[in-house]
Amino acid sequence: MLEDFEFTQKILDLVHIPVMIIDREYRILYQNRPSKELFGVKTNGVCWKEFWNGETLPEELRRLYEKGIVTNDMRCAFCKLDESLNSGEPKNIDVCVKDRHYESWWIPISEDLCLHYFIDIARQKSSERELRIVQESLRNSLEYFETLFKRNPAMMLIVDENRTILDVNPAFIKISGYSKEDVVGKNASVIHINEQYYEDFAKVFEIVTQSKDELKTVEYCFKGKDGSVVWAEVTGSIVILPDKRRAVIWSAVDTTEVHKLRENLKKQALHDALTGLYNRYALEEELERAMERAKRNSSALVVCFIDLDDFKPINDNLGHDKGDEVLKVISERLKENLRKSDFVARWGGDEFVVLLENIKSLDDLYRIFDKIEREIKKPIVLSRGNEAKVGLSMGVYIYSGEDIGADEVLYKADMTMYQAKGKKDAREKYYEIYQSKPLTF
């Protein structure tokens, strides 16, 4: 029979892919050199039995195959010969021969013969496996990200380059009080305290979008739905969206309670516990800054050192608790009646220091002095119906940029106060002014 295919054989021997001619009985009547070299099967052998490893069989058939029992189901699982000969049409199937993947083609060349050739698709299968691995990895990554995003106790927001909020996680919703509908699809300005905060945070946003690295954590605050201020330690990282746009994923850890505690501690460190005024430590820091401003602006800084007159009898006769009431009232009157720009501190005991800046004229200065005297000398109604009255002596040092330190400024004001106090029984005014230069405004 093969004589009829002598010409065909000569041609097939030149083909670089494995080729066989198979009859209807599954016998290999001819195979070219690549087929012999690759598979090492014998001509006149049964094609599927010679080189098929049976790995695509279901478990039940595989047990039979391993015992040497062959069924028609096994043949059908591998061989398309019958289907191809009966239909007269080419048929193909992916097969694994000796652990290598091929695309197996069956081409009918007569009623009883098929041309059977193999196309190596090992690389394709390898690529497909790699693709599946990548797809699985991506799917796992997306699942991991989704889990991280949804279950993270930190607040998380995804914001695009236009600062539009694309998504928020449940932790953000719980802590801020907003629903997704309140914020998703809207500009991030909806969660900022005011326009200034929104503009200030633009600098942080720009740093993240222009950097390949994760932003170092910064503390910032935003507005909760009920108007409350939520403080958080915020970290931003660039993410690439499916449509190739760049966005920032913000992770924010709620630090509101810690911030409040820190601010309270800071306030305690800078404020007097009894009166709530700034304390001596805060005064020394502010005085140095005020002196620098006076030098820079060629302006006058007025330092007022105040000591209460007739305060000791209140402590001695009414008790220290009533003395504390007097100090609280005096402190509140000074805070309420001086300008917002004026700095008021308790130096200690019944002594106070006031820093006055931006004085426009002597008349302005004297009006402030009159107000200080009036507020301190007003009678004070104490608890349980007691009433107290105190006076004051004040030393004023006008600093005009001299090359001296803050300690010396306070010392000069203190000494000037003692001069005023020494004259309290025979004086026209309650204060004395010391200045090293003529006062100009």
Residue by residue, what is the 3-state secondary structure of 114-157? EEEEEEECHHHHHHHHHHHHHHHHHHHHHHHHHHHHHHCCCEEE
Q: What is the pLDDT of residue 131?
A: 55
Domain boundary residue, one of 260, 282, 308: 260
Alpha-carbon distance of 341 to 286, in angstroms, equals 12
Examine the domain organization and report whether 22 and 97 are in the same domain.
yes
In whole numbers, what is the pLDDT of the chain averaged over residues? 83
Q: Which domain holds residue 326?
A: 271-435
Query: Per-residue confidence at 88, pLDDT binned at 50, 70, 90?
Result: confident
**Which one is predicted more confidently, 133 or 251?**
251
Q: pLDDT (tens digit, 9 = 90+) per residue, 339-392?
A: 999 999 999 999 999 999 988 888 899 999 999 999 999 999 988 778 899 999
Examine the domain organization and report whether 251 and 282 are in the same domain.
no
Query: Per-residue confidence at 66, pLDDT binned at 50, 70, 90?
Result: low
Number of domains in the chain: 3
Q: What is the pLDDT of residue 178?
A: 95
Domain boundary residue, one of 234, 260, 286: 260
Examine the domain organization and report whether 77 and 221 are in the same domain.
no
Q: pLDDT (tens digit, 9 = 90+) per residue, 36-51?
A: 887 776 777 666 655 5
Q: What is the pLDDT of residue 77?
A: 45
Q: pLDDT (tens digit, 9 = 90+) per residue, 288-302?
A: 999 999 999 888 899
Q: What is the pLDDT of residue 360?
A: 85
Query: Per-residue confidence at 9, pLDDT binned at 50, 70, 90?
Result: low
Residue among 411, 385, 407, 388 at smallest CA distance from 308: 388
Asked if 41 and 53 count as a contact pair (C-beta separation under 8 A), the reply is no
- Please check whether residue 283 lies inside any domain of the structure: yes
Examine the domain organization and report whether 221 and 82 are in the same domain.
no
Mean pLDDT of 154-167: 90
Examine the domain organization and report whether 282 and 185 are in the same domain.
no
- Please check whether residue 266 lies inside any domain of the structure: no
- Please check whether residue 292 lies inside any domain of the structure: yes
Say yes or no to pLDDT of 95 above 90: no
Task: With 0.95 as the threshold, say if the pTM is over it.
Answer: no
- Please check whether residue 126 lies inside any domain of the structure: no
Say yes or no to pLDDT of 143 above 70: no
- Please check whether residue 46 lies inside any domain of the structure: yes
**Which one is predicted more confidently, 216 or 115?**
115
Asked if 372 and 296 count as a contact pair (C-beta separation under 8 A), the reply is no
Residue 242: other Cβ atoms inside 10 A: 5
Q: pLDDT (tens digit, 9 = 90+) per residue, 226-276?
A: 999 999 988 888 888 777 788 888 888 888 888 887 788 777 888 898 999
